[in-house]
Amino acid sequence: MFHCPARLHGPKQIFLLVFLLACAFPGTAFTSGDKTGILLVAFGTSVPEAATTLDHIRAAYEKAFPGCPVVMAYTSRIIRNKLDRGGIHVPSISEGLDQLAKNGALVVRVQSLHIMAGEEFAALARSLLLNIKGHPGRFRAVYLGRPLLESRADARAVARAVLGFHRKKGAAPEALILMGHGQEQGRADLIFEGARATFRENDPLVFMATVEGARTFDDMLKDLGQSHVKKVVLAPFMLVAGDHARNDLGGAEDDSWASRLKAAGYDVEIRLNGLGDVPGIDDIFIKHTKDSTDDLMLEPKKP
């Protein structure tokens, strides 16, 4: 429950109320004295052009939640070490939590910037629980926001945003091919298939496959052959257009998707825009942040 001060007289008291209202998210139960901080967690990228996408997402959070400190963290140690060698430091999850604690945050809202709840999201949740255990009493609450695709409503919103970004009215028929990441263990395969079905409901010329998941390039190429189109647009179904987009998808090597499609006789256009570049995607993440009631410091409620 959010409690307002009993009396407001000067500008300092009014500023305090505005600050508290800005940081009081729907669905929370913390008090008016709790300062909130936000930790955005992505896998990370060492590609400067792709990093600007994450900068835009962080800016969107700072605009949505004025007065609340926002920290971006990368989970990939390899990427963080590579950036460190170039003089750029991006915090790990633990370092990000340390920053928010030093900033005085008592309530932390962690937002996964993953596309689906696969291996990386599971590792994020485990890391948060271990950090909480190692620092008892540091925070009053730690909420975890779910990844981009969690529900049918999410899939529909993502499809609308992506199609609105890539499809132009009056353009000649062309296939839109989206590359997802996927995982060899099969985590999130069903979520990917659900997203694929939602896209196809809206546009039958959308084709999707993964780098490592169950739906392969060859599966996609077989479906594409039945469409009888010759022009294809390639884009990543990943948050940023990083190494996979620039090499596996659009690279000049013979085994890239672009090269294989050209060899099959298709006219290929490559668009290096990650999902984070698509207007409206950040709104879905922000909604997940606001809606989360999953306080990792409390035992799950049982019926």
Residue 267 to residue 232: CA distance in whole angstroms? 6
Which segments of the chain does DSSP mark as H helices, in order?
11-23, 48-64, 77-85, 93-102, 119-134, 152-166, 189-202, 217-225, 243, 257-263, 281-291
Which of these is catalytic: 3, 9, 135, 181? 181
Rounded Cα distance between 11 and 292, Å, is 32
Determine contact, residues 22/67, Cβ cutoff 8 Å: yes
Among residues 219, 280, 268, 210, the alpha carbon closest in space to that of 238 is found at: 210
Query: CB neighbours of 186 closer than 8 A, spacing ≥ 6?
Result: 213, 214
Residue found by looking up tokens 């546009």 in the block: 203
Active-site residue flag, 166: no
Which is it for the CA torsion 164, 168, 173, 178, positive or negative? negative
The tokens for 197 are: 């079905």
Q: How far apart are CA 128 and CA 284, in angstroms?
A: 22
- Percent helix, strand, coil in the chain (nearest 5)? 45, 15, 40
DSSP line for 248-268: IIT-SSTTSHHHHHHHTT-EE
CA 60 to chain centre: 13
DSSP annotation of 145 reads: E
Catalytic residues: 181
